[in-house]
Structure 1
Amino acid sequence: MVKFTLLLAFVGLAAAAPFKLNNGFPNPSPSAIAQIEKEAGGTLPNTPLPTSLKANAVQSLQVIAVNEIFEAAYFSSLLHNVTHNVDGYTDFDGLSRDYVIKSLTQIRAQEEMHALGANAILKSAGAKTIGSCNYMFPVTDFKSAITLAATFTDLVLGTLQNVNQGFALDGGQAAEGLVPLLDSIIGQEGEQDGAYRLIQRKVPSAAPFLTAAAGQFAFNAVDQLFIVPNSCPSSSNVSAIGIPAFKTLTLATSSEKPCSTKDTTLTFKTSESSVNGKHIAYISGQNKPVVVPVESVNGMEFKASFPFTKGFSKGLTVAALVNSAGPFMNAAEVANSTVAGPGLIEVD
């Protein structure tokens, strides 16, 4: 039996008051940038930035900026809770408080650097940069915060695969300047993810080939779970990115636990009002997405098989309610047919 959770199940937890970045980020002063670089353990790249990018590359960088600014806010909030001994954030399961504070300080600064880098590229290419919103974090203690961080980092790692492929296909300045840059970020996020898994007493590397994803899933996960509705000012340009809004997809109960060697059936809830005739697509590892029909529809609740033995990997599985039976060759094709999602399932 393996542990099985769905990220959106965290929504049921009580969330703290909305969090807003108030230190000038993501537009810090030069002195603030110098401090961020010091805390992050390195500087922003000083190689030439692209001056011309195709529309898809611009949209991908804007999605990256949305995610990185959210992560900067998330780790700022988590660091605040730890340093101020907020109830639930004083038990580190054997780790020293000083080590946790040092680690979170550096991780926060590294996410700030990623956001600054994405916006710097957008600005250099004459595209709209991304600003901050107000955020809500559905966690109540250090353990749940790390569990959640591991899951959205899994999604980031899957999304950056798709983005890098797009940069390579675009060619020109995107391929020359951005592919190696994103490779370095993928490695850095992987280092973080291994640490989050170790803190949870999991094997540090979940699977030989990590699950793919797409920008639509990353954007909708942040928008559905973490951005306070209607809190993004027009100057943030978040609404101008052009990513379609999906309906939500959650497990009806978080206690369902499929086995690594057996198949099972899951019960989902969705805010999509028309479910009959649709399918669930699962993206796991580097395999072709597995598509199954929805069953036992009861309003906006339904069941779907979870055929883990049909080509799944441990770690992240991305679930999506789609309007086609496929077949789909990759995560991008699933995203283009998605009406609700993502459901982010962790199998460990």
Structure 2
Amino acid sequence: MFSSLSSIVLLGITYFSIIVSAVPVFTYENNPLGNSFPNPSPDQLKDIQVQAHGSLSNGKPPPKVDPDTLTSLRFVAFNELFEVAFFTSLLNNITNKIEHYEAHDGVDDELFRTNLIKVFTAIQAQEELHALNANNALKNFGAEPIKPCKYDFSVVYLEDAIAVAKTFTDLVMGTLQDVAQNMAIKGDPGFIRGVLSSLGQEGEQNGFFRSFQGRIPSALPFLTTSTREIAFSAVNQFFVVPGSCPNANTIDLPVFPPLAISTQDTLDLARNPRPRNLGFSFDLPEGGAKPEWKSDWTGLKLAYINMQNVPRAMDLLDVRVEHNKVNFNVLFPFDQGTFGNSMTIALIVSADANFTNAVTLMKAPTIIGPALIQVN
């Protein structure tokens, strides 16, 4: 079996992070939060801020904005609307004792459940403020706010939901690095302090997710970096119901073709981290393989992005095409001190891509992915 979001090991037990289930599609129609979000009234906003243990900034917005920064604000709003939806669904499952959400580690502990409700009520409200902050900034500069999509959260178990939350939080923390750097490059430093403030909040909640899994709260000395393009593709591929986003087309970012990874291989890697081959696959595009990929597939590389290191360019091994699907293996060169802990992002890119960093990779003529790998 192949999946784009890799399998994750929790508390010594293996779960699939994304599982096919009968969970209904999440939609913001019919006011599921009960506070008219994403368009709360002033009184409802006050209630959100009480639940979030803090408020939106009352400072003046920057006097100007670059078009690229508007793209970043649109992406942030898009991502935060997804996160609010996810945590609303998770909170509802815990609160209502939905099957497989009523117990943890086989124990139905009411005190533990009450604490989880307290934690996720705050996280939900904090993410609401993140989304409102980004959309308010867009409106301040005369841009249309981003509207929510419909989402498919096919996650069956509480432990899986925490693992998925940890993974997409890892990804957004890496992506906010990209957002802040782009704002600096484009001459919009007035936004950066707020972006880094929300990045810190994401880190705090991810420490809770890791502790829930029985891991140390801090994963790495320097978190894995990402880009807006990678994260926008991931959220669209993993969670968004296709065709359900009213105005995501205003976000000037691509959605790459998906890259799948063998769940069995990643389960084995997570149980026993070591250098080993991993199986990957992707669908051939319409018209077949591109000439620049070459008949022996040496025109493509798999890039691993881990921590703040230079991306690793890896050869595709044992390539075979079956039913318009390209299957292959790639070495995962795990090393406890230098490569592979926490989140690693995998992308197929052109062999002549610039591997200086994650940002330069985004200029490659071919990009397929991401697949996300979690170890330790």
User: Larger deviation: 188-197 or 322-331?
Assistant: 322-331
User: Larger deviation: 239-248 or 37-46?
Assistant: 239-248
On the 8 A contact 1:252/1:267 being kept in 2, the answer is yes
CA deviations over 1:187-245 (Å, ceiling 9, x no partner): 11000000000000011111111000000111111111111111112xxx211212112
How far is 1:33 from its partner?
1.1
2:171 to 146, 150, 155: 155
**Counterpart residue number, 1:329:** 356
SS of alignment partner, residue 134 of structure 1 = coil
Q: Distance in 1 between matches of 2:168 and 2:264?
A: 17
1:19 to 26, 34, 42: 26
Q: Distance in 2 between matches of 1:327 and 1:55?
A: 25
1:205 lines up with 2:215 in the alignment: no
1:240 to 250, 260, 268: 250
**Counterpart residue number, 2:6:** 6
1:303 lines up with 2:329 in the alignment: yes
On the 8 A contact 1:6/1:254 being kept in 2, the answer is no
On the 8 A contact 2:265/2:278 being kept in 1, the answer is no
SS of alignment partner, residue 135 of structure 1 = coil
CA deviations over 1:257-306 (Å, ceiling 9, x no partner): 34887421110022344373311101000100001121222222111111
**Counterpart residue number, 1:78:** 90
1:103-114 equivalences under 5 Å are: 103-114=119-130
**Counterpart residue number, 2:264:** 254
User: Larger deviation: 18-27 or 254-263?
Assistant: 254-263
How far is 1:51 from its partner?
4.1
Q: Distance in 1 between matches of 2:301 and 2:249?
A: 28
SS of alignment partner, residue 348 of structure 2 = strand
**Counterpart residue number, 1:181:** 194
Q: 1:62 to 1:272 in 2, by over 3 A?
A: farther
Select the structure of larger CA radius of gyration.
2
**Counterpart residue number, 1:291:** 313
How far is 1:254 from its partner?
3.2
Q: Distance in 2 between matches of 1:80 and 1:316?
A: 28
SS of alignment partner, residue 244 of structure 2 = coil
Q: 1:15 to 1:125 in 2, by over 3 A?
A: farther
Q: Distance in 1 between matches of 2:141 and 2:104?
A: 43
**Counterpart residue number, 1:192:** 205
The structure whose residues are more often helix, as a share, is: 1
Q: TM-score, normalised by structure 2?
A: 0.85
How far is 1:328 from its partner?
1.2
On the 8 A contact 2:265/2:279 being kept in 1, the answer is no
**Counterpart residue number, 1:343:** 371
Q: Distance in 2 between matches of 1:226 and 1:187?
A: 24
Q: Distance in 1 between matches of 2:371 and 2:7?
A: 7
The unaligned stretches of length 5 or more in structure 2 are: 9-15
**Counterpart residue number, 2:183:** 167
SS of alignment partner, residue 213 of structure 1 = coil
SS of alignment partner, residue 303 of structure 2 = strand
CA RMSD of aligned residues (A): 2.0
Q: 1:15 to 1:169 in 2, by over 3 A?
A: farther
1:216 lines up with 2:244 in the alignment: no
On the 8 A contact 1:10/1:138 being kept in 2, the answer is no
Q: Distance in 1 between matches of 2:143 and 2:93?
A: 36
SS of alignment partner, residue 319 of structure 2 = strand
Identical-residue share of aligned pairs (%): 40
**Counterpart residue number, 1:129:** 145
How far is 1:10 from its partner?
3.6
On the 8 A contact 2:151/2:239 being kept in 1, the answer is yes
How far is 1:126 from its partner?
2.0
Q: Distance in 1 between matches of 2:302 and 2:334?
A: 13
1:281 lines up with 2:293 in the alignment: no
SS of alignment partner, residue 342 of structure 1 = strand
Q: 1:84 to 1:261 in 2, by over 3 A?
A: closer
**Letter of the 1:286 counterpart:** Q
SS of alignment partner, residue 263 of structure 2 = coil
**Letter of the 1:149 counterpart:** A
User: Larger deviation: 261-270 or 303-312?
Assistant: 303-312
How far is 1:178 from its partner?
1.0
The unaligned stretches of length 5 or more in structure 1 are: none
On the 8 A contact 1:136/1:228 being kept in 2, the answer is yes
Q: TM-score, normalised by structure 1?
A: 0.91
**Letter of the 1:265 counterpart:** N
How far is 1:30 from its partner?
1.6
On the 8 A contact 2:75/2:228 being kept in 1, the answer is yes
